Structure 1
């Protein structure tokens, strides 16, 4: 009786937690002065869901070093940011292309012109006079300060830049010297002392990754590689606004049909599977929000596909359990055998799908990558849900007594 009571309490708590997290995730909540945003506000939406411009820039030379490609990406990302765009996605495609996805309604011609121009790096004094240009910088290196342990960028100047910087830092001790790319301020450090040897350090980076980005921009100066516009795609705001609610309706209908089938065909185990799938949906959306992944229409298709895969894993478990029940085994033994026998099929099918998703992500571009990423994340989480969570619910169902007869599994023949 203690085991049964404990199992009932655990089961109720699980359902309540899933319900509360799901409700807050879909509706949002305000607790005191703290606001919890809904999934709709925290998950980044792709261009096809909110409209915007997608530009692919191609490098205009045959052999491109990965390091130069990364520098070019950082400079292009900086130029897009000054358009006032949030949630912009800048990614390398293949060996010589960079895709820039810009959500919202913006003039594509202005954006393309901004991305294509040469750009200029300058060191500007507090009197707004130019001190150095990118040509005066020999090298910028991200590093960790051995004394403070904080990230910084080490600067090495050319011979021409050494004297100009020595004069400027002597003049502006205690004041700021801004480092700008075009009109954007990359950093605005204070001169602590005159720098006479042509080597300096720029502190203030919050992380080593931020220091690497700053060093890449300084090293690149202007665009490290010549680029041209390979393609420009504009998605209207109205099309994006219509796409999301339609996709959500399709998702709700699809999930509802899956839940209905599971309950009608598998009865009590089907009900437990619906709880397991609800847990999976909430966890997947929460993972998307925490990772900052971008959700697109192909991504939603991948999301719905993974729900089907997760349901399929539960179906395999139930069918294996039914087979064991028909041989006359007890409920507990049938469930244990069903779970054990279904695992190899579940792992094999999901593993092959994950491999396919990885191939699509590596060689795909744009929406294909979004579909592949959603597919991989969904399959991994659905596999964990089937192996761990469904197994837990089946065990609790047995201990609570709601899985006490073969008929509850849809098996007419009684166990011996």
Structure 2
């Protein structure tokens, strides 16, 4: 492994982060478990950054990929593509957006980039509203609407971005307010901000902030924002790259916790739909999607192989009610983790929905984030046989828990016990 690590450092960028002091090579997986090159077995509670959504080596998906690859791997969007049409039909119907059109990309970054292109072209404006503590990808435009400086390497931007309060419930100037007061204060902030600008194209927001540490506002915030946005003709882009496909348990899409005023104008997705295959995409009502007045194609978006994987994976998700499983098993897991956290002084908060759970660590007796402790827990968990993630604001002090949605109760209990051991060891 040392040899592979040396080769990695010799040819790949310094900023391409690796987990662990001794990085591991994951060679294969099955169900909710993976193995490294040294033969060590791990319970996977991060799923390749929320991407292995159903299970590792899911037979239904691997069979679909193999059969499609044997027929045709690539053709581009210049030709009719049956798997792409089939997946687009299913996603359009599930999206909740009327008269929906779907455009496929290869990643969540590219999906958000496309959504920003559509919104700015439709509104004839390069002004964007985004949430503080947000993350939307690594492209030039996606970085420019990311409200987390740890993931925004340049201040240069093709967009004028204005940041709004509301993505983080338990920190900041409104943390001490009730939920209703919190929403009222954030709406007032939005209205004040719009009073100092004009012709804003869109608000882009994650219903639950992923890289930001699985933070979220009270239910209904974005519905209240929507009332203000609609008065100004401003579009709402819901970034569902991490929250989509039932991961939050209570809803199929994150926006549905804020559904009083209907679906978003634009919805972006990626990660879990391909169960590891490179799929991203945008859903928008036809009027918005068709607003571009120039030619556009995608060489790799909508690839027959990735679309076949998406069709099979989505069918498995729905047929086995993995959203319901995320609600049931995730509910048990978050309560178990809260009980553990209550006995660990470094745990400030355990938060989350379904199988999207964050554990925020601080220096005991303070509200000061402790990224070093988070790094140590990450290492200790791996030594115990558990893979987790981390994130959170500008300081990566939040442990991120996001296993495949087929997680069993026994595996949830095992993972909680391993994590408890890691927390107490640190």
Do the two structures share a fold, i.e. TM-score over 0.5? no
Higher relative contact order (CA 8 A, sep 6+): 2
Name the one with the larger helix percent. Answer: 1
Q: Could you tell me the TM-score, scaled by structure 1's length? A: 0.21
What TM-score, normalized by structure 2, do the two folds share?
0.21
Higher CA-based Rg: 1
